[in-house]
Amino acid sequence: MAVTSLWHIKGNLKDLIDYVENPDKTVPKGTADFFNVFSYVQNPAKTEKGEYVSALNCLKQTALQQMILTKMRYGKDDKYIAWHGYQSFQVGEVSPETAHEIGVKLAREMWGDKYQIVVTTHLDKDHIHNHFAFNSVSFLDGKKYNYSNTERQRLRDTSDALCIEYGLSVISNPHKAPSRPVWLDEKAGKPTRYNVYREDISNAMYCSNNLRLFEKFLVRKGYEVDFSGKHWKVKLPQYKGFTRLDTLNEKWTPEFIEQEIRRTYRSFGSIPATVITIPPQMPRDLYDAYTPFKRTSHIYRLYLYYCYQLGYLPKGTDYKPTSPYLKEAVRKLDEISYQVNYMSARKINTLEELYTDRELTEKALATLCEQREKLKNKIRRALPEDKETLRKDKAELTEKITVLRKELKCNYAIEERSIGIQDTLDMVTANEIRNKELRQQEKQMKKKEGYSR
């Protein structure tokens, strides 16, 4: 059995050139795994001294240089610099030699007619896995590779066919895998959407005496549920698609869930779901920072209110959010913290002050870019002995420009997140209102039943 995945590497031609000229320097964010594939050719601790490194349509020792030449030839030097993927085998099912042979065949069938490819087989984990790194630009016609849904399915089918050819197992009921960032967060145990689903479903099974109460528990939490077919599904309203319970945990079939509820049956009854509470340490002067279904321009106070709801503030608190609408946001605490610090440092309290800060940053950025452009022209016309000094001046300007662009990106992200915070809190409030109405209806129904007797 082998699972496959493929994703693009963002960057530009300069990233490749910089790495070739100095592979020891810091690589661009998000590209480390890709560049590592090529570093294994020179430093192959993971690949049995380079024994399990192969190249198609290029030499493995100069693969990156050849990719650069292809990009330069066709003038394709931006957006996606390459594609990077893996083929991971079940533990103990395949030898390194066979895994590498399958990986090379897969790469040849998928991309070998048009693209320069490096295939490496890694032995550093319990599971043997192949890595594929190939140029985004075809050496044959200069066209960029498009990873469409058809290509995604072809990759799976080709991998499965090779596994069957070599007598390996295949996945009989494949399901859509999460995106790579979500997959990495899942491995790290962060509260991704799927980990939140797992936690709430586990709690629902433990806290419910029967299937009706199991479903009610999840609805009370704010889930939409579909228990009509053989594959039960749930989703939160902010997402388009349902997620099958047996993809979250292969054991979670309807039969297993029913058995598990019976097995953990409690004589003292079911435990109702807790959806939202006010953090006990939240300052009272922040209580009105959020008003349901009403936009506020006081975004700094809204951020602070949100940080208390997420259990980020105060430092050292044991409080954790109970609503699934809030739990996943804990993944983004580093970003949220950076944005809070940004507003605090610049004394930004309202949207108007955020816009003023943005305007000042954009003006400063435009000035520096203009200065750098003038320096570029000076460097072209300068004497050789003056160029080094001018290049240093240009590098200093570039550093300042980089900082301002990061600040400007943060400024725009604050505006976008403030809207998202309001929308999320509104969903929590709407769920509370809906559940109060349902409880009221249940009380009325019980009264009617009592009168009819």
Residues 45 and 141 in one domain: yes
Please count the CA atoms within 13 angstroms of the CA of 268 that sit on its side-chain side: 4
CB 428 within 8 A of CB 275: yes
Residues 191 and 167 in one domain: no
Among 145, 143, 148, smallest CA distance to 134 is for: 145
Task: Provide the pLDDT confidence category of residue 341 given band limits of 50, 70 and 90.
Answer: very high
Residues 103 and 220 in one domain: no
Residues 145 and 243 in one domain: no
What is the pLDDT, as a whole number, of residue 35?
73
Sort 389 into a burial class: Cβ within 10 Å, 0-12 / 13-18 / 19+.
Answer: exposed
Domain that holds residue 257: 183-263
- pLDDT digits 0-9 by tens, 40-84: 654 565 556 557 889 999 998 888 889 989 988 998 877 788 898
Residues 245 and 151 in one domain: no
The domain spanning residue 60 has which CATH number?
Answer: 3.30.930.30
In a domain, 449, yes or no: no
C-alpha 327/C-alpha 95 separation (Å) is 41
Residues 116 and 220 in one domain: no
C-alpha 274/C-alpha 220 separation (Å) is 8
CB 279 within 8 A of CB 308: yes
Above pLDDT 90, what percent of the chain?
56
What is the pLDDT, as a whole number, of residue 52?
85
C-alpha 207/C-alpha 268 separation (Å) is 11
Q: Average of pLDDT values for 118-137?
A: 86
Bigger pLDDT: 308 or 439? 308
Residues 198 and 116 in one domain: no
From edge to edge, which strands make up the β-sheet containing 243-244?
Answer: 224-226, 233-235, 243-244
Residues 159 and 231 in one domain: no
What is the pLDDT, as a whole number, of residue 174?
57
Q: What does pTM read for this prediction? A: 0.64
In a domain, 274, yes or no: no
Residues 124 and 244 in one domain: no
In a domain, 402, yes or no: yes
β-pairing, 117-122 vs 53-56, is: antiparallel
Amino acid symbol at 237:
P
Task: Provide the pLDDT confidence category of residue 19 given band limits of 50, 70 and 90.
Answer: low
In a domain, 411, yes or no: yes
In a domain, 151, yes or no: yes
What is the pLDDT, as a whole number, of residue 253?
94
C-alpha 120/C-alpha 108 separation (Å) is 13
C-alpha 56/C-alpha 113 separation (Å) is 9
Q: Tell me: pLDDT of 34 over 90.
A: no
Amino acid symbol at 390:
L
Q: Which residues of 222-273 form beta strands (DSSP E)?
A: 224-226, 233-235, 243-244
What is the pLDDT, as a whole number, of residue 227?
95
- pLDDT digits 0-9 by tens, 365-405: 999 999 999 999 999 999 988 999 999 999 999 999 999 99
Give CA separation, 246 vs 197, 200, 230, 252, in Å.
12, 14, 10, 5
In a domain, 451, yes or no: no
Q: Average of pLDDT values for 88-97?
A: 89
| Cα dihedral across residues 221, 222, 223, 224: positive or negative | positive
Q: Helix (H, G, I), strand (E, B), or coil: what is residue 418? A: helix
Bigger pLDDT: 266 or 330? 330
In a domain, 425, yes or no: yes
Q: What single DSSP character describes residue 144? A: B
Residues 244 and 313 in one domain: no
What is the pLDDT, as a whole number, of residue 139?
95
Q: Tell me: pLDDT of 211 over 70.
A: yes
What is the pLDDT, as a whole number, of residue 125?
72
Task: Provide the pLDDT confidence category of residue 178 given band limits of 50, 70 and 90.
Answer: low
Given 263, 296, 323, the domain boundary residue is 263
C-alpha 190/C-alpha 198 separation (Å) is 12
What is the pLDDT, as a whole number, of residue 177?
60
- Rg, Å, the chain Cα set: 28
Phi/psi at 131 (5° precision) = -115, 140
Q: Helix (H, G, I), strand (E, B), or coil: what is residue 31? A: coil
In a domain, 403, yes or no: yes
Residues 312 and 385 in one domain: yes
Of 8-17, 227-236, 239-248, the least confident:
8-17
Q: What single DSSP character describes residue 264? A: T
C-alpha 322/C-alpha 221 separation (Å) is 9
C-alpha 261/C-alpha 217 separation (Å) is 13
CB 44 within 8 A of CB 121: no
Q: Average of pLDDT values for 280-294?
A: 93
Tokens of 153: 């399915």
Amino acid symbol at 164:
I
C-alpha 366/C-alpha 423 separation (Å) is 34
C-alpha 297/C-alpha 187 separation (Å) is 38
Q: Average of pLDDT values for 205-231?
A: 92
